[in-house]
Chain A
Amino acid sequence: MGIKLKYEVDGEDFTRAGEASGDIKKTLKKLGFPPETVRNVAIAVYEGEINMVIHANGGEITADLSEDGITVVLADKGPGIPDIGMAMKEGYSTAPDNVRALGFGAGMGLPNIKKYSDGMEIDSVVGEGTTIKLKFLPKQ
């Protein structure tokens, strides 16, 4: 038996970014996943959620939780990523100045998602959107 969670991410409201990752984290804690797994998921999904707000005007996050692992899919209909290789580089950012003024846009989003997850697939089409699939394995 598993658990499915689904969230709409509002692209207009910066102050709400983090609600989805926060709720996933709360759920994982309640379920008794190991603290390290909970933290990794929370950090990676938060980065993804912020990216959705900054670059893609929102999107949808789904999480499938099971004893064997956690799969999170972050899907948006944003502008897409023209060069995924560049985007994966630490410090590379296309965030606009107003976003940087808030302390975001350090170019660590995608690298952090990769660092904190146990598997990451990016599927992006320019002009259509980006889908990131993340895998997390429970660690004791």
Chain B
Amino acid sequence: MSSFFHSVRLDEEKCTGCTTCIKRCPTGAIRVRNGKAHILSGRCTDCGECIRVCQHHAKYSERDDLSRLSEFKYNVAVPAPTLYGQFSNIEDTDYILTALKRCGFDDVFEVAGGAERVSELTREFMASDKAVRPVISSACPAVCRLIRVAFPQLIPHVIPLNSPMEETGRLARERARKVTGLADEDIGVFFITPCPAKITAIKQPICLEKSYISGAIAIKDIYPALLKNIKALKNESPESLKSAGLIGISWATSGGESAALLRDSYLAADGIENVIKVLEEIDNEKLNNIDFVELNACTGGCVGGSLTAENPFVAKARLQQLRRGMPVSGSHIGEGENVDDMYWQRPLTGYDIMRLSDDISEAMSMMNRMEEIRAKLPGLDCGTCGAPSCAALAEDIVRGFAKETDCIFRLRDQLDAPLFKDIFPAPFRKPEK
């Protein structure tokens, strides 16, 4: 499983080995071993939930900083539309884009622009006979990875289009080549990212041979420099850099992508737990009457990403105000333009991490053993064994990752120590009179 790249990392110094992240991981991908929270590579979807919940800030995302700009002769910043919701009292996105450019970039290309083209192509795709209803958005990389490991049977529903980030990266490169005459390797394209899943998607794309993006800079890392540059712009007018309209900007919040399809039959769910419930519903064929399903791993959509600076609900409110007076859409697919490059280069492939064994009868005997073990465990789901629940420990034991005495209650039972026999921890103690 070491072939999977993950941007989510652990700062061992800061990790106290507490059980917060193991319990909140939606795919059960974290175990505490040797006092530290380790990620099971094959199960992690880089959703960033552990980064959000760790109160010790021990989980972080690998990412780039501005020093990487020196690797290239010409650098373009491609900001996620979420960036616009991070600042108060801004009425024109050109202030943000100019401030961003002045962080050391030669050009700025809005991801909101690429998003509008993806919306157009999605509308076209939805009207074609290639659409398997309900069509599932492929824009959130954490959702794509979740489908790959937990719902591989739903892959035919996923729309085979590159994300707005990649489409923008492609366009930004094209423009940079035209303007400068430079070769691709001399052009740096940096995504200003709200989340770690996008970073993973850049470093190890699933459906592209190679990402159009050179690196990712977290919104919260570049935020202080942006604030400073915006302040400095007070007495001058910003450059005219924006091109996107309200459709592109709306992609930052849950429901924005769907609204851009201009049809009523859609469902938009956000927050990884809700996403899982909706995928279950699709799998049970209960959403056959829905045309399009937009899923975002983060609460509120991309504004809820774990690498943002502002509260997602505040960011959403600001985006609503920013959108006022904007044109519906600023970027379009040209008449007769070849859109082949907007489609995936290779299919999404599933690999099933849930199954116990490739052999059903072997899996059954494993499950029976799991059940026997689970019945002997206390059912506290305390996490002291390093697994998120007693059931997860039982599965780990049967898979050979853990042993029964990893449970401190089972350890006590198996120690032949009369002294401990009548000592019960508080949850099992009868109330004293």
The answer to whether A and B assemble together is yes
Q: Which residues of A contact B (CB under 8 A)?
A: 1-3, 22, 25, 27, 29-33, 35-36, 38-39, 42-43, 46, 65-67, 138
B280 at the interface (CB under 8 A from A): yes
Contact B152–A1 (Cβ < 8 Å)? no
Contact A1–B365 (Cβ < 8 Å)? yes
Q: Which of A25, A33, A42, A43 contacts B360 (CB 8 A)?
A: A33
Dominant secondary structure of chain A at its interface with chain B: helix
Contact A27–B367 (Cβ < 8 Å)? yes
Instruction: Report the Cα distance A43→B357, complex, angstroms.
Output: 24
Contact A3–B364 (Cβ < 8 Å)? yes
Closest beta carbon of chain B to A10's beta carbon, Å: 20
Determine, out of B92-100, B105-113, B348-356, the stretch whose residues face the partner at the interface.
Answer: B348-356
B240 at the interface (CB under 8 A from A): no
Instruction: Report the Cα distance A22→B281, complex, angstroms.
Output: 10
Contact B365–A67 (Cβ < 8 Å)? no
Listed from nearest, the 5 A-B pairs whose CB atoms lie closest are A35-B153, A32-B355, A31-B363, A67-B360, A1-B365
Contact B285–A39 (Cβ < 8 Å)? yes
Q: Give 5 pairs: A residue, B residue, CB < 8 Å, sorted on A.
A: A31-B360, A35-B153, A39-B285, A42-B284, A67-B364
With a cutoff of 8 Å between Cβ atoms, the chain B residues found around residue A22 in the complex are 280
Interface contact tally, CB-CB below 8 A: 53
Closest beta carbon of chain B to A9's beta carbon, Å: 17
Q: A39-B153, A39-B285, A46-B284 are in contact. Are A30 and B368 (CB under 8 A)?
A: no
Instruction: Report the Cα distance A29→B152, complex, angstroms.
Output: 11
Instruction: Report the Cα distance A42→B151, complex, angstroms.
Output: 14
Q: Which residues of B contact A (CB under 8 A)?
A: 152-153, 280, 283-285, 352, 354-361, 363-365, 367-368
Contact A31–B355 (Cβ < 8 Å)? yes
Contact A32–B365 (Cβ < 8 Å)? no
With a cutoff of 8 Å between Cβ atoms, the chain B residues found around residue A29 in the complex are 352, 354-355
Q: A1-B368, A3-B368, A39-B153 are in contact. Are A32 and B363 (CB under 8 A)?
A: yes
Dominant secondary structure of chain B at its interface with chain A: helix
Instruction: Report the Cα distance A78→B283, complex, angstroms.
Output: 30
Residue from A3, A32, A42, A67 having most chain B Cβ neighbours under 10 A: A32
With a cutoff of 8 Å between Cβ atoms, the chain A residues found around residue B284 in the complex are 25, 39, 42-43, 46
Q: Which of A25, A31, A42, A138 contacts B356 (CB 8 A)?
A: A31
Q: Which of A3, A33, A43, A138 contacts B285 (CB 8 A)?
A: A43
With a cutoff of 8 Å between Cβ atoms, the chain A residues found around residue B365 in the complex are 1
Instruction: Report the Cα distance A36→B152, complex, angstroms.
Output: 12
Instruction: Report the Cα distance A22→B354, complex, angstroms.
Output: 15
Contact B355–A67 (Cβ < 8 Å)? no
Contact A35–B152 (Cβ < 8 Å)? yes
Contact A32–B360 (Cβ < 8 Å)? yes
With a cutoff of 8 Å between Cβ atoms, the chain A residues found around residue B368 in the complex are 1, 3
With a cutoff of 8 Å between Cβ atoms, the chain B residues found around residue A43 in the complex are 284-285
Instruction: Report the Cα distance A36→B284, complex, angstroms.
Output: 11
With a cutoff of 8 Å between Cβ atoms, the chain A residues found around residue B363 in the complex are 30-32
Instruction: Report the Cα distance A43→B358, complex, angstroms.
Output: 24
Instruction: Report the Cα distance A66→B367, complex, angstroms.
Output: 12
Instruction: Report the Cα distance A39→B285, complex, angstroms.
Output: 8
Contact A32–B356 (Cβ < 8 Å)? yes
Instruction: Report the Cα distance A84→B153, complex, angstroms.
Output: 34
Contact A3–B280 (Cβ < 8 Å)? no
Closest beta carbon of chain A to B245's beta carbon, Å: 37
Instruction: Report the Cα distance A66→B368, complex, angstroms.
Output: 12
Closest beta carbon of chain B to A104's beta carbon, Å: 11
Closest beta carbon of chain A to B394's beta carbon, Å: 12
Closest beta carbon of chain B to A64's beta carbon, Å: 11
Contact A65–B364 (Cβ < 8 Å)? yes
Contact B367–A30 (Cβ < 8 Å)? yes
Instruction: Report the Cα distance A2→B283, complex, angstroms.
Output: 25
Instruction: Report the Cα distance A41→B175, complex, angstroms.
Output: 53
Q: Given contacts A25-B284, A27-B367, A42-B284, could you give 10 more A-B pairs where the C-beta distance is less than 8 Å?
A: A1-B361, A1-B365, A2-B364, A3-B367, A29-B355, A30-B367, A31-B355, A32-B360, A39-B284, A67-B361
